[in-house]
Structure 1
Amino acid sequence: MGEKATIYLVGGSQSDDNWSQLVPVLYDIEDIDKIRQHGVAGVLVGTLGGAPQQNVFLGVPLRLMMEEALWLAEAGHAVLQRVTGQDLIHSLEGLHAETLKKWKDEDSAEMGRQLEWKRAKFLQKMKTIRGTNAEAEPCDVIKDRDEQLMKHSIFVETKDISRLAKQYSETVSGLLCQQILAHDKKLRFNYKVYKALRENGYFMSPGARFGGRYVAYPGDPLRYHSHLTVQDARGKEEDIDLLNMINGARLGTSVKKTWVLPGVSSDKEAPDFYSVEWAGFG
C-alpha cells in the first residue's frame, strides 16, 4: 500500500445521495508523480492564499476526474480515501492532550531551529558588511526590529497528509469504487468509455473547452496534441440531437480534432465509438 498513491475524495456529506459531489484530489507530490507514470495527468488547482485570483502558476492539490480516480484504484495504482468534516470531528474526539502537546513541541522546536539559523546568517552578514566584532553576542547586534522580521519570515510547513484523517484500507477503497458507480448511471457509462480509451493507449484530460467530456491524446499531453474530442456516453437506444452533432463536428474540425460519440449498451461491456467530421470545411 505504501507504493500506491492516495487519492482523497473531498466534498459532499456522509449520506449516500451525495456521491456525485465528491471531488478526487491529490496533495502529495510523490503521489502525483506516481499517477503520472501511469498516464494520468490531472489538473493543478492550488493557488496562493495571498493572491487567490491568480491562475497562471497553479500548484497542488491536483484535481482528477472521477473516472481517472476509479481507473487508478481499479488498476491497483492508488487507493481512495473519503474525508469529510465528520471524520475529523471523530478523530478530534479521540485526541489526547499528550498528543497535542507533542505536536506543538515538535512545531516549536522546528521554528526554534529556523530562528537560530537566521540569527547566525544575520550575524555573518553584519560581520561582512559592517565589520562587526567576531566575538559580539547576538543580542548586541540583532535589534528588536530585526528579530521580528526574522520571526515573521520563518517557513511553516503545511503537511501534505492530515495527521487526523484515518488511513483507509484497500478493501474500503474498493467498496468506495462500487458505491460511487452504483449511484451514478451516467458515470458508469462514461467510465466504460474512459477505461476503453485508456486500454487503447490514450491519455485523457477534461474536454469542456473543446465541447466534449474528454480530449484524448495519443501519448503524454506534454509531447502530443489531442486528436479526439469525446462526448458523454449515451445508451444505444437514446436519440441524438442532430444540431448538436453538426455543431460539435464543425467545432472539432476547426480545432483539428475528431468529434467522437461513444455508445454503450447494457448487454455489452465494451462501448462502440462513432466519429463525425465536417467534410470540406475550411
Structure 2
Amino acid sequence: MTIYLTLLNGTGYVFNADDYMELRTKHRIMGAPVGTANSKGWSSSEAALPVELTKWETQWLIEARIAVLVSKSRALKAPPSPEMLQAYKTEFKASLLAQADALKAEKLRETERHVDKILVGKRNKLLKQAKNEEAAALTTEDVLEEIANNFVFESQNALVELPCSHMMNHFAKLCSEPVYDTKSLKYRVFLDLWRRGKFVTSGEAFGADFLIYPGDPLLYHASHIVIILESPAIRPLELICKVRLSVTVNKDCVFAYKQTDSSNIIYQSVKWCK
C-alpha cells in the first residue's frame, strides 16, 4: 500500500498514524513529531502528529517507491464551501456531545464507587439542617440522579481534534521533482547506514550530521554521532572539538568521508583516551 507524504516546507510530512507506524516499525524511518497535544503550547516531550521527515528520508522513500509526495497547498488554501463548513460544524458538535456523554458516564461510574460515603455525607448534612425525613428518604438513586442533572460539560475543557489525515474531499498534485540531491555525500552516507540496518536520525541537536541508534529511539539512546567530511583531512582543533563533544554526550564519534581513489564511503571511529 502506497503511503502519501504531504509536501510542506520542502519536505514530506506524515499526517496518518498508521502510515507513520509502518514507516517506523517496518522501514526504520523515524522523522520527528512536530505537532502539539498540549493546549499550553508545543513541548518536545509531548509532540504529536504530524511527523516531519528529513529531506533525505523523504527522497529515499520516494526512490524506494514506498511513498509518493503530493502537494495539497492549493486545496488546503482554498476557502471551504458552505456545505463543507456546515459538515465540519456538524461533525465538531457531534464530537463535543460524544465527549460530554463519555465524561458524564465516567462521572456516574466514579460516583457509584463511592456512593455509600457520599450518601452518608448528604444525610448528615440534611440532619444538621433538621431535615430528618428527607435524610431518611434519601437513596442511592437520588444521589446518582442529582449528579446526572447537575453535570455540566465545559467546552473549553474539550479535547479538540489533533492534526491528522486531511479532509476526505480534497485534491492533491503529485510532486515529481527531487527534494534532495541523491548524489550528495550526506544522502549516500544516510542510505549506506540505513542499508546496514541502522536506525538513523538527524544529528543537528548534537552538532553532527546523523545519530545512530542500536534500536528504536523510543527504547534506546543513540550510540554514535556521525560527522561527514568532504575529505579525509581534518584540522586538529576541529578533530578535538568533535571528539570531546561526543564524550560529553556519551557517544562514539564516527567520521564518514569518501575514499580518495574511489566512490566508497569510509567510516573512522575516534575515541577520547583518558
Could you tell me the TM-score, scaled by structure 1's length? 0.68
Gap runs ≥5 in structure 2? 120-137
2:54 pairs with 1:65: yes
Say if 1:132 and 1:215 are closer, same or farther in 2 by CA, change over 3 A: same
For 1:119-158, list aligned pairs within 5 A: 128=115, 129=118, 142-143=149-150, 146-147=151-152, 149-158=153-162
Q: Deviations over 1:13-37 (max 9, x none)?
A: xxxxxxxxx3543232212211112
Q: When the two structures are aligned, how many residues end up with a matched partner?
A: 250
Say if 1:226 and 1:273 are closer, same or farther in 2 by CA, change over 3 A: farther
Say if 1:275 and 1:54 are closer, same or farther in 2 by CA, change over 3 A: same
Contact kept? 2:32, 2:51, Cα under 8 Å: yes
Secondary structure of the equivalent of 2:184? helix
Write the distance in 2 (CA, Å) between the matches of 1:248 and 1:153: 48
Larger radius of gyration: 2
Matched residues, percent identical?
22
Contact kept? 1:217, 1:225, Cα under 8 Å: yes
Secondary structure of the equivalent of 1:73? helix
Secondary structure of the equivalent of 2:45? coil
Contact kept? 1:230, 1:262, Cα under 8 Å: no
For 1:219-258, list aligned pairs within 5 A: 219-222=215-218, 226-232=222-228, 234=230, 240-252=234-246, 255-258=250-253
2:37 pairs with 1:42: no
Secondary structure of the equivalent of 1:196? helix
Gap runs ≥5 in structure 1? 12-21
How much does 1:191 deviate?
1.1
Contact kept? 1:259, 1:277, Cα under 8 Å: yes
Say if 1:55 and 1:159 are closer, same or farther in 2 by CA, change over 3 A: closer
Write the distance in 1 (CA, Å) between the matches of 2:47 and 2:147: 43
Say if 1:81 and 1:211 are closer, same or farther in 2 by CA, change over 3 A: same
> Match of 1:248, as an amino acid?
K
**Alignment partner, residue 5 of structure 1:** 3
For 1:1-282, list aligned pairs within 5 A: 3-11=1-9, 22-37=10-25, 38-52=27-41, 54-84=43-73, 86-90=74-78, 92=79, 95-116=80-101, 118=103, 128=115, 129=118, 142-143=149-150, 146-147=151-152, 149-163=153-167, 166=170, 168=172, 172-173=174-175, 175-176=176-177, 178=178, 180-181=179-180, 188-222=184-218, 226-232=222-228, 234=230, 240-252=234-246, 255-263=250-258, 271-278=264-271, 281-282=273-274
Say if 1:150 and 1:250 are closer, same or farther in 2 by CA, change over 3 A: closer
Could you tell me the TM-score, scaled by structure 2's length? 0.69
Write the distance in 1 (CA, Å) between the matches of 2:221 and 2:105: 51
Contact kept? 2:252, 2:269, Cα under 8 Å: no
Contact kept? 1:192, 1:271, Cα under 8 Å: no
Write the distance in 1 (CA, Å) between the matches of 2:61 and 2:141: 59
Write the distance in 1 (CA, Å) between the matches of 2:197 and 2:104: 55
Write the distance in 1 (CA, Å) between the matches of 2:258 and 2:23: 28
RMSD: 4.0
